[in-house]
Amino acid sequence: MVQRQLPNPVELLELMKFKKPELDGRKRRLDAALTIDDLRLIAKRRTPKAAFDYTDGAAEGELSLTRARQAFQDVEFHPGILRPAPDVDTSVEILGGPSALPFGIAPTGFTRLMQTEGEVAGAGAAAAAGIPFTLSTLGTTSIEGVKAANPHGRNWFQLYVMRDREISYELARRASASGFDTLQFTVDTPVAGARLRDKRNGFSIPPQLTLGTIINAIPRPWWWFDFLTTPKLEFASLSATGGTVGELLDAAMDPTISYDDLAVIRDIWPGKIVIKGVQNVEDSVRLRDEGVDGIVLSNHGGRQLDRAPIPFHLLPEVRRAVGDDFTVMIDTGIMNGADIVAAVALGADFTLIGRAYLYGLMAGGRQGVDRTIAILRSEIERTMRLLGVSSLAELEPGHVTQLTRLVPVARAAAEARTH
């Protein structure tokens, strides 16, 4: 028989401790976010549809983005046992300098549209975390403004070669003069991708009021208050060049970009230069032979060519082709620290996060970006411990199997014939 007794209030108090309520609404909602997907849901609730969809969406059927995210989910890890890893080292040397984590913040355009703190929040959070921050040519904070927000950290600049080449050259010179140490020369935007969510939303920069946007804004007054009471939303680094937003966007896309432009930019830029938007093995090898400092395997977050190659699937083959001494970075589809660990294991020297950063920004400004970095850091450290590795250098291809859903028809037929 179970012995019964009257509850002892003292013993009950020892078992039940009431959590102190958090009165700061922003901190409360960010603390409740345990994953990047959680931040995305908060961002969706707090941001007008057109601005959220601009961030969240991709080109056409959004297959490139969906497949890139799925590729990271289709990973099988192979942990080692009885390999204590009580302390893990997540730091890495990348492009001649340190990073406390194996990821940096990718370049994003129109960033103050998502939340008014914009690139200043991103650069400040990157500085606090000891990771690089990348400013876009189409950023809404100036080169000098980002330097002021991250005066002692690592700042990188992403460059589009514009139709008026002198605009691009001057931007490169300004970034160099401000102490930016790496240039991301972007090559996957000869024309703009068809981003259908934006067209359906009637998206524009700056946002234009319609009946739909007003109705959508009613439950989000804080966004409009920030938007209407802070400096004008514009391309900060291009504001002196003149022209409408549409004209500047059109000028940023140039189908005539070539290796000749790369040669000119290399003459102008004194620091490290990496080519962003590489999508096949042949181009990777040629760029290595051209003597650039590295490449970023990227399909522009799925925002340009739909059905583009999946960077994470391409990674192992590129690493084998270019060798171990050439810097290979990767972006597109990263939503978890485990994605970053898998990429490093398969040969990436570094990774870049775009949407994950913007979800945090929309969810809570600078504090939201800090939360994004904290979530990814925790996931990286936990995954490393569970794999039994103490440093990123210990990660190797044997720790990861890429489970394939999309197999080329020719390869599938060849495999079938061998069985």
Q: Is residue 76 part of a domain?
A: yes
Question: What confidence tens digit (pLDDT) does each residue in 69-128 have?
Answer: 999 999 999 998 888 778 999 999 999 999 999 999 999 999 998 999 999 999 999 999
Q: Which pLDDT score, from 0 to 100, does residue 248 have? A: 65
Q: Is residue 312 part of a domain?
A: no
Total domains in the fold of the chain: 1
- The single-letter code of the amino acid at 288 is R
Q: Which residues contact 315 (CB under 8 A, 6 or more apart)?
A: 297, 328, 330, 343, 346, 347, 348
State yes or no: pLDDT of 413 exceeds 90.
Answer: no
Q: Is residue 113 part of a domain?
A: yes
Which is the catalytic residue, given 300, 313, 399, 419? 300
Asked if 71 and 312 touch (Cβ cutoff 8 Å), the reply is: yes
Q: Is residue 69 part of a domain?
A: yes
Q: In angstroms, rounded to a whole number, what is the distance separating the alpha carbons of residues 114 and 25?
A: 19
- For 275-289, what is the mean pLDDT? 97
> What would the two tokens of residue 58 be?
């991709």
Q: Which of 43-57, 114-128, 230-244, 325-339 has the lowest mean pLDDT?
A: 230-244
Q: In angstroms, rounded to a whole number, what is the distance separating the alpha carbons of residues 299 and 150?
A: 28
State yes or no: pLDDT of 394 exceeds 90.
Answer: yes
Q: Which of 234-248, 259-273, 323-337 has the lowest mean pLDDT?
A: 234-248
Hey, is 127 helix, strand or coil?
Answer: helix
Q: Which pLDDT score, from 0 to 100, does residue 411 have? A: 65
Question: What confidence tens digit (pLDDT) does each residue in 179-193 have?
Answer: 999 999 999 988 888
Query: What CATH number is given to the structural domain containing 143?
Result: 3.20.20.70
Q: Which pLDDT score, from 0 to 100, does residue 406 have? A: 78
Q: In angstroms, rounded to a whole number, what is the distance separating the alpha carbons of residues 331 and 104?
A: 10
Q: Is residue 300 part of a domain?
A: no
pLDDT-derived band at 247 (thresholds 50, 70, 90) equals low
Residue 176, Cβ density class (10 Å: 0-12 exposed, 13-18 middle, ≥19 buried): middle
Q: How many CB atoms lie within 10 A of CB 382?
A: 14
Q: Is residue 293 part of a domain?
A: no
Residue 136 sits in which domain range? 25-272+350-405
State yes or no: pLDDT of 227 exceeds 90.
Answer: no
Q: Which pLDDT score, from 0 to 100, does residue 253 have? A: 76
Q: Is residue 319 part of a domain?
A: no
Q: Is 78 a catalytic residue?
A: no
> What would the two tokens of residue 281 be?
């093995």
Q: Is residue 236 part of a domain?
A: yes
Average pLDDT over all residues of the chain:
90
pLDDT-derived band at 4 (thresholds 50, 70, 90) equals confident
pLDDT-derived band at 5 (thresholds 50, 70, 90) equals confident
State yes or no: pLDDT of 208 exceeds 70.
Answer: no
pLDDT-derived band at 419 (thresholds 50, 70, 90) equals low
Please name which of 116, 105, 209 lies closest in space to residue 157, comparing C-alpha atoms: 105
